[in-house]
Chain A
Amino acid sequence: MYKTNINLEEMSQKEAIEYLNETVKPDTGAIPAYLLGDPTIYDLEHKKVFLKTWVFIGHESEIPNKNDFITRDVSGYSVIISRGADNQIRGLYNMCTHRGMKLCRADAGNKSLFTCPYHGFNFKNNGDCVGIPLQKDIYGVDLDKSQLGLHKIRVESYKGLIFGTWNDEVESLDAFLGDFKWYIDIFAGRAEMEVMGPPQRFVIHSNWKIGADNFVGDSYHTMVTHGSIAKLGMVPSATYSKKGYQIHTNNGHGLNLGTPNPDFAFPEELKDEYKANLTEEQYEVLSNLKNMIGNIFPNLSFLISHTKIKGQLISNTSMRIWRPISVDKMEVITWFLVEKNAPEDWKRRSRESFILTFSPSGIFEQDDTEVFTDITAAASGTMPLVKQLTFNYTMGLHRKPVTEFVGPGVVYDDKFTEANQRNFYRYWLDLMTK
């Protein structure tokens, strides 16, 4: 039933989708290698996943004041995320409507008006076209400026996390996140959170899905890939990462909850703020949390890490996107998040631990990128198709989810299973074959 000498480039889109349906079997744990290395899949993914679903843009604390803006890439296109004079956050396609020039080339700033470097068309930060140089003289008539406003992207937020989508028909962000919000509350809504500093950016020769796969469900790799951390005494043992829960919900989202933790991983001073923001059950999870690693479909990964540095335990909270650049290349953009009301010394130590562990110089991070790069190289070209190389994702298939956990979703009572990756690929396949 498999075709040999497959060349996806020669297939129509319909045939490529049929081939995906024949070969990708999330429910039985068979994920073919070509998904990570084939350019046709990458192009299809851009249309069927990244232009169709919600993707992460940034955090509201990056634009706290009126007229603040950031520029971000949303599924391959530059977007200005601006807080208007009316305090509303908008997403504007960073393209002049006259001739298509990029309007703004700074990463961030504060301005109410954007002027095109090509012919000087002026746009307010709500998208309205408000000025055209020499208009009456050269156009002869009053141009209808209302037809020349900037293209808008749909933008919605949850607990300070700003997401955007190019798809006007997609379900609301609230519905897309669904049950997963229960866990996002703990990660991003437990207290007033803020992003400290600009995000870090670096490039890896890797397919973006390897990053998402790693964060959504792969606690198993930490024993070996991050073996150095146990050797350095920063975590108690190599099998430290097995204990806890693996949880997934609809739409491909999933996380790994490390628990229990005899120590409280967060600033003690904020216990009242946490209790005010969380339900009793969520606070219970937070109190016992050792770490939390997850992925919001498709490419926003988040992390609460808790390690011993200089003899002291400290947690750090971060998030990152795996921004696809090409089939074998992605930009990793990482943000450090911290409780706004935490003591200054705690914030400084938490940032220090983030930089040491999960920034581009991070001693956890750097070993992952080595693995991601080599996997991508091995999955590239036609051989994985011709030989039908398929990865085994059957870990935990024999297990039944537990029902006594306090949070929603499908829950397993330790972290070493591949249920979350199967869930990720099931939703990915749904979108790709729709």
Chain B
Amino acid sequence: MDLDFSAAEDAFRAEARAWLTAHVPDTPLPSLETEEGFAAHREWEGTLSADRWSVVSWPEEYGGRGASLLKWLIFEEEYFAAGAPGRVSQNGINLLAPTLFEHGTDEQRARVLPSMASGEVIWAQAWSEPESGSDLASLRSTAERTDGGWLLRGQKTWSSRAAFADRAFGLFRSDPGAAKPHQGLTYLMFPLDADGVTVRPIGRLDGKPAFAELFLDDVFVPDEDVIGAPGQGWRVAMSTAGNERGLTLRSPGRFTAAAERLTRLWRETADPSDTALRDRVADAVIGARAYRLFSYGGVSRVAAGGSIGAESSLNKVFWSELDIALHETALDLLGPYGELSDGAADAPAHGGWAEGHTFSLAGPVYAGTNEIQRDIIAERLLGLPKGRR
């Protein structure tokens, strides 16, 4: 058992750090949930991609570095420690790309992945529907067979990044007569500027259009944009859903960097006699450390030939609650300045804590609610009987 990095891993860290030091903007980019910020972040994806830092774990042929999962964790630690911008491409990189690597064709990979890596095409996830959130298999949008492809109809909602994104991927009911809700679903990619697509941005809690509703009215999708076999969409989607909850959505570097910033804030501003607040700072620091070490354990298991299955539900509940605790503690340390939104001139840290707090509040909801994750933990990891939800 050890936590020692190899010389190659240390060299990789040093190279990443040097590149980030030279390239990370001095002033944070505007929020990626605004039109201006979205464009700036797209440009940043291009900067990352030009030096092959946008998708380090991908094979070289698609713009990556073929880096191990551990090197990816190292890169993420350096990325967040450097205060680099949020990733506008993350839906595609973390959710669609793993699906294509596992279920896509060579043609699809060659066509989709390079423009995803460079930020030329930004992807939105179109899974949820108005009546289908946690019970995703109840979705009602349809894909009807037509000459050379499919016609999509229906409504998707809470689609992250869809207000400004270029394309989307999602599940559609292609066989309404299937015996069970999980059957007869097909996984498709489609353009958001196609005929028949209406995008209605939805303001999140802070008013920014962080997601959108999509209305689909006979939207044509060619056969080459079906991922996996028609009718097998559920299996295709679920084989990679664990990625979202588990390691790749929220790498530990995000929280260790936030915990560092929180500790600095506490040292600079806190009343030393306020031990209640001190204890919360300590708990956030410990939580970030625990999450990092737990991730190293997961990476070690994968490297030893194991896999991350239902354990990703442990991660999801943990990081989402940790994220809120980190930001709430920061706002409490900021006192009256904690109320200022990220658009306010006086907002500390360019409003990073304020926007981070708003974002963190969604953590227990998206990527599978924490209630569903706790059910998975109880049933699959503890072996408790299924019951009514």
Whether chains A and B associate is no
